[in-house]
Structure 1
Amino acid sequence: MAIMLTAEQMRYTKATNAYVIKNPEQITNEFTITEEAVAANTLNLGETKKIADLKEYLKDFDMTAINSDDLRKVARRLFDNEMIDIHAFAIFAEGNLASGADGRPTDTDVKFNAIALFNERLEDYNDFLENNPADVKEDTLRWRRGMIDANHAIGALTYFVNSSRSDLKIHERA
């Protein structure tokens, strides 16, 4: 059971509710990838073995029904293999954004649609920056870039998770 805090309670605690996804059924958006070469390029995967290893690792994950714990595991794998940068890693690691009074993540086992979550968070952040131009600074733009990169990465991951081919290869043209 999730407990929703009121605005008054939120002023006295580090606790935050999970991000409320407006369209939890969303499985495609502008970051959806439909070509293996694009997916591989997005994650800096140039070798067939790296692609096969990633696909094998991802076989037990579904980006439309993943929890914060698993999303962090995927993020760590991507970051350790230099497929995403630290800013995109942070977006992944935040999971559904739920935290307790001590500031630590909560509800880490609750599944959610990461595709919709990342896309909606980016849309909300874009709206925030548009409505608050005084807050547009180098750091906020870097954070926005991390959100964009995380959306691209989740699109690539979704492609690999859903790919029916086990022999993914990048077609190179000389």
Structure 2
Amino acid sequence: MDMRVILPNTLSKQENAFVIKNPEKTTNSFTITNATTAADELKIRHQGELAELKEFLKKYDMTSISTDELKKVGRRLYESDIIDASAFSMFTLGDGAFDADGHQTDTHVKFNAIALFDEKLDDYLAFVKSNPGVGRSQGIPEYIQGMVDANRAINALAYFANSSRPDLSVEERA
């Protein structure tokens, strides 16, 4: 007779999507207002690189983007050495929704990445401030810097996504 005991899976990896408090927010302390700053933020020095990035970005709106799309944008930035692995993780996590088995869910659902990244950083900084020991933990400063870098990158991308010209000049879409 088999006497094995089957224990129920008591550890769930489920996580609801991050709730964006201000989903209409399109500006924050990382908002970029000129092409030179945006290009510097993305470490772009050559017109050809910028033209290619702008062409790539035509498919994406940073204020209405899915996790699937953010992963593509993040990969492009990471493979171009524009962002590091810490910032790339912000892009790949998207809105943070996971099922009980730890698989991302609803990766097709659109959200405002500018507001998401900004609010995630604000919430994490508030958490660290209220728990000072956490801020001194190994890897936390790098994690925070990755969040800051992701915010800078998403705002620079938003600036260039609205530009129809292939050079450093910007012509806003109507």
Paired position in structure 2 for 1:92: 91
Using the size of structure 2 for normalisation, the TM-score is: 0.89
Paired position in structure 2 for 1:17: 16
Separation in 1, partners of 2:110, 2:168: 31
RMSD: 1.2
CA deviations over 1:73-118 (Å, ceiling 9, x no partner): 0000000011101100001110000001110110100000000000
Alignment of 1:155-170 (within 5 A): 155-164=155-164, 166-169=165-168
Separation in 2, partners of 1:68, 1:167: 27
Separation in 2, partners of 1:169, 1:18: 36
Separation in 1, partners of 2:71, 2:77: 10
Q: Which of structure 1's runs of 4+ aligned residues deviate more than 4 A?
A: none
Larger Rg: 2
Contact 1:36 1:168 (8 Å CA) reproduced? no
Separation in 1, partners of 2:168, 2:156: 14
Contact 1:14 1:100 (8 Å CA) reproduced? yes
Paired position in structure 1 for 2:145: 145
- Residue 88 of structure 2 aligns to a residue whose secondary structure is helix
Paired position in structure 2 for 1:71: 70
Separation in 2, partners of 1:82, 1:139: 21
Q: Which runs of 5+ in 2 are unaligned?
A: 1-9, 170-174
Alignment of 1:38-57 (within 5 A): 38-57=37-56
Separation in 2, partners of 1:154, 1:167: 19
Separation in 2, partners of 1:66, 1:99: 18
Contact 2:61 2:161 (8 Å CA) reproduced? yes
Q: Which runs of 5+ in 1 are unaligned?
A: 1-10
Contact 1:42 1:152 (8 Å CA) reproduced? yes
What percentage of aligned pairs have identical amino acids? Answer: 49
Paired position in structure 1 for 2:36: 37
Using the size of structure 1 for normalisation, the TM-score is: 0.89
Separation in 2, partners of 1:128, 1:63: 26
Q: Between Structure 1 and Structure 2, how many residues are aligned? A: 159
Query: Offset at 1:71?
Result: 0.2
Separation in 2, partners of 1:44, 1:160: 13
